[in-house]
Amino acid sequence: MLQRKPLVKVVRSSRGLRRVSLYYGNASKGTEQAFNNTKVAEETRNIPIRYQPSSGSFILDTIRYATSSGRVDSTFKPPPKIIIDGNEEKPPPLYKYHIPTNTFQKVILSVGAATAAILDPRRADMVAVLGETTGYDALSKLFSKMIQDTEGQKILLDKPRINSSSLDLNELSKLPEGTLGHAYIKFLDDNQVTPDSRLPVQFVDDPELAYIMQRYREAHDLFHTVLGMPTNMLGEVTVKWVEGIQTGLPMCVGGAIFGPLRFKPKQRQKYLSTYLPWAIRVGKSSKLLMNVYFEKRWEQSLAELRQELGIEEPPI
């Protein structure tokens, strides 16, 4: 019977960064010997890997490993140039909807998206582009935090999606009042939003980081639900502060800083005296919301979940 306990070692790549290679415990003796002779860095991690029972033999998998500094050593490499009959062909996309861009193109996209978003904050498409073109470092650090958390690892392995195709919204609406599932449906209904409103990621040149960005977008309404914040300007800015502190995404930080400029005097007073201090406390002290596998917690009490995550009672 195939043993699924992995052996994990962190080695240095040619670029001086760390890499994790995972071998199942019943690998051949030669493989185990070569593995054991590998020069090992100071860290080791027990990171689970996807099981493929159809292989019929030991499974070797290599994944990225985030170092303690937050930088990610990616074993992923963009597809090389493809030459057919002397002509260069475009490599296949890294994921559905992916549009490869170079640094210069990303700068142009960032400037254009930022300008459009400032002129019209309702341009969700421009806000999405800005988040993708400026978020690589923050997404890398998020990968680091998620891969070192049991629940976060599971999310990265399963890659669940949050939309009307993956969720049974009717069944969630039947859950008892006070549960996360019931509260989520109530949030969608009260604010007339749908889980299908999130745009697909296009400009992140790494499939793993692209998924993290997609997960952030699709979980945003669940962040609102757990934090108890509506979708008005005050609620959005409050959520952006929590997201900005936890994720470091420039898009979130910018929304948190510049969003209050549109507040009316009464909103600004309430924001400065109550909402901003609350958001900063929650952002710093609560568990990373990106590490919450919400789909496994629909029947959990919302009050219990907030207590588990260290979220103070919302100031609503």
Q: Output the tens digit of pLDDT for each of the chain's 316 residues.
A: 333 333 333 333 343 323 343 333 333 344 444 444 433 333 333 333 333 334 333 233 334 433 334 444 444 555 555 555 566 666 677 888 999 999 999 999 999 998 887 777 678 889 899 999 999 999 999 999 999 899 999 999 999 999 999 999 999 999 999 999 999 999 999 999 999 989 999 999 999 999 999 999 999 999 999 999 999 999 999 999 999 999 999 999 999 999 998 899 999 999 999 999 999 999 999 999 999 999 999 999 999 999 999 999 999 8
What is the token pair recorded at 230? 């509506």
Q: Which of 113, 110, 136 is nearest to 123 (CA)?
A: 113
Q: Which of 139, 214, 177 is nearest to 299 (CA)?
A: 177
- Confidence (pTM): 0.75
Between the CA of residue 109 and those of 138, 177, 232, what are the distances in Å? 18, 44, 28
Between the CA of residue 74 and those of 82, 85, 181, 207, 221, what are the distances in Å? 22, 32, 35, 11, 30
Return the bridge partners of 73, or none.
65
